[in-house]
Structures are given as C-alpha cells and as structure tokens.
C-alpha cells in the first residue's frame, strides 16, 4: 500500500501542473452550487402564481402551496446534479491520469517500475476520487445550507433534503465514481484519447437519470432503505470492477500498442 500512496502523491504533484484541467473540473461543483442556491432563492420569492393544474404530482408534493411547490421542484431538480458530479469529475481526472499520461509519453517509465498493478491502479484511482469527492461533498453541504436558509417553509426543506438523498450523496455516488474510474482503467488499454474514454464511461449517468425521472414521476421514492440497498449493490459491483480492471490492465500490451 505504501507504493500506492507514492503513486497518489505523484499524481497530485502532476495534477497541480495541469491547472486548466484542475480549475475547469473542480470549478464545476462551485458553479452548480451557486446557480442552484440562487434559483432556489428566486423561486421562493417570485413564484407565488406557480400553476400545476393537470400535472400529476408525487404524494409528498401534492399538499404544498404554489410557492412551496415551486421551490420544492427547483430544489429537487438541482439536488440530482449532486448525484452526477461525483461520477463526472473523477472520471475526467482519471482519464487524463492514465490516457493523458500516455499521450504525454510519461506512462512508460511508470509501467516499467517494480510496482504491482493493483498498487498502481489504486494510487491513480485515489488521486482522481479524493479531490473530486471532497469538492463535491463540500458543494453539497453549501447547497443544503442554502436550502435550509432560504426555504419558505419546513415542508420544503423536508422534501428536498431527505435522508435518502443524503445517503445517496455520501455512499451511492462515490461508489458509482469508483466504478467509473475502474471503467476508465479498463478503457485505457483500448483507446488513446481521454475524450473517448470519458464518453464511453458516461453510461454510468443513465442510472442516475432514471432515478431522477422516476422520482419526479412519483414512481420511485429515494428513501434511506432504497439508498442503502443501492449502496450495497454498488459496493459489490465496485469491488468486482476493480478486480476486472486489475486483470485487464495489461502493462506490456499498453507499451506495445500505444505507439
């Protein structure tokens, strides 16, 4: 594990040199948070005539006043973005940490060092996951603070900041991010363009979008039990994905194929 931490330190030192990538990636959570809190605040001040006549609503939203309903819908829609960020940000960083390093011709010396494959991959995965998750969780905390401060009633706070959503942010999406990083590792031996790896790994966004549409339609209620159940399944998938990534990451093939 000591060698994995050395790789982690190396990745962070190199990431600091790629300031454009770092700022563009880690600035996104801050921008989304500012936009979410601003729109939520505005919805609570200027949506008194909000009308949903003829539109089916989930049971927990049906009893809200027009002003409360406007804020609740805005808050729920933005809250789902915080389930997407922990997937998007680490995969972008991981794609450049592996595929981008090959393009810069700095991967060959690393692969030639006496380090086990799993130590190399763990170090690179942590280098992508830790900063991305830290920024995303901090942004989610600011979003929650904005909801608690600007909600027009306690009922709005209860339907936006739910226990299921908190568990999903802290447990489910980091596991999805880990699966995404493992998928990037697998793709790294097949592609030589970071954007290609990112586009293929974007398939992980589909389950989150299905959860969004199901929740808005009232078909799915993201409660604590469901969030924990999803987390358990994702943990098993993440462990299997990391094992597969270790098996498929052929160092010799990468050195000979990427010329």
CB 222 within 8 A of CB 165: yes
Give the pair of three-digit tokens for residue 257: 């194929």
CA 174 to chain centre: 7
Q: Please name which of 128, 91, 95 lies closest in space to residue 202, comparing C-alpha atoms.
A: 91
pLDDT score at 192? 60
Could you report the per-residue pLDDT of 179-210, keeping only the tens digit for each? 777 777 667 656 666 566 556 656 666 666 66
CB 223 within 8 A of CB 163: yes
Q: Please name which of 103, 104, 97 lies closest in space to residue 124, comparing C-alpha atoms.
A: 97
Domain span including residue 214:
2-257
Per-residue pLDDT, averaged over 241-259, amounts to: 67
104 in helix, strand or coil?
coil
From CA 44, how far away is CA 75, in angstroms rounded? 10
Using pLDDT thresholds of 50, 70 and 90, give the confidence band for residue 145: very high
pLDDT score at 67? 82
Could you report the per-residue pLDDT of 56-92, keeping only the tens digit for each? 666 677 777 778 888 888 888 888 888 777 777 776 6
pLDDT score at 149? 92
From CA 191, how far away is CA 186, in angstroms rounded? 10
pLDDT score at 213? 60
CA distance to 2, 67, 223, 254, per residue, from 204 (Å): 31, 34, 21, 25
From CA 249, how far away is CA 64, in angstroms rounded? 53
Q: How many CB atoms lie within 10 A of CB 250?
A: 13
Q: Please name which of 253, 125, 233, 100 lies closest in space to residue 182, comparing C-alpha atoms.
A: 125
Give the least confident one: 28-42, 130-144, 147-161, 211-225.
211-225
Backbone angles phi, psi at 238, to 5 degrees: -65, -45
How many domains does the structure of the chain reveal?
1
Entry pTM: 0.77
Could you report the per-residue pLDDT of 99-120, keeping only the tens digit for each? 666 666 666 666 666 777 777 7
Question: Helix, strand, coil % (nearest 5) of the chain?
Answer: 80, 0, 20
Q: Is the pLDDT of residue 159 over 80?
A: yes
pLDDT score at 53? 53
Could you report the per-residue pLDDT of 215-242, keeping only the tens digit for each? 555 556 667 888 888 889 888 988 888 8
């Amino acid at each position: 594990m000591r060698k994995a931490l050395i790789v982690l330190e190396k990745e962070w030192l190199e990431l600091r040199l790629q300031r454009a990538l770092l700022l563009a990636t880690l600035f996104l959570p801050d921008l989304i948070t500012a936009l979410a809190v601003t729109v939520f605040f505005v919805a609570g001040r200027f949506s008194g005539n909000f009308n949903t006549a003829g539109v089916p609503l989930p049971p927990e939203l049906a009893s809200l006043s027009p002003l409360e309903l406007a804020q609740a819908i805005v808050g729920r829609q933005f809250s789902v973005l915080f389930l997407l960020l922990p997937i998007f940000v680490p995969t972008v960083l991981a794609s450049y940490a592996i595929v981008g390093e090959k393009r810069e011709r700095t991967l060959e010396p690393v692969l030639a060092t006496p380090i086990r494959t799993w130590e190399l991959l763990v170090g690179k995965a942590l280098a992508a996951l830790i900063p991305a998750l830290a920024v995303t969780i901090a942004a989610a905390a600011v979003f929650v603070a904005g909801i608690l401060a600007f909600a027009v009633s306690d009922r709005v706070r209860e339907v936006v900041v739910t226990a299921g959503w908190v568990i999903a942010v802290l447990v489910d999406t980091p596991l999805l991010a880990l699966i995404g990083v493992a998928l990037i590792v697998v793709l790294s031996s097949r592609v030589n363009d970071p954007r290609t790896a990112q586009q293929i790994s974007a398939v992980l966004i589909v389950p989150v979008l299905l959860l969004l549409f199901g929740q808005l339609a009232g078909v799915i209620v993201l409660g604590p039990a469901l969030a924990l159940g999803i987390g358990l399944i994702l943990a098993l998938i993440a462990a299997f994905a990391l094992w597969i990534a270790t098996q498929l990451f052929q160092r010799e093939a990468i050195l000979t194929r990427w010329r």
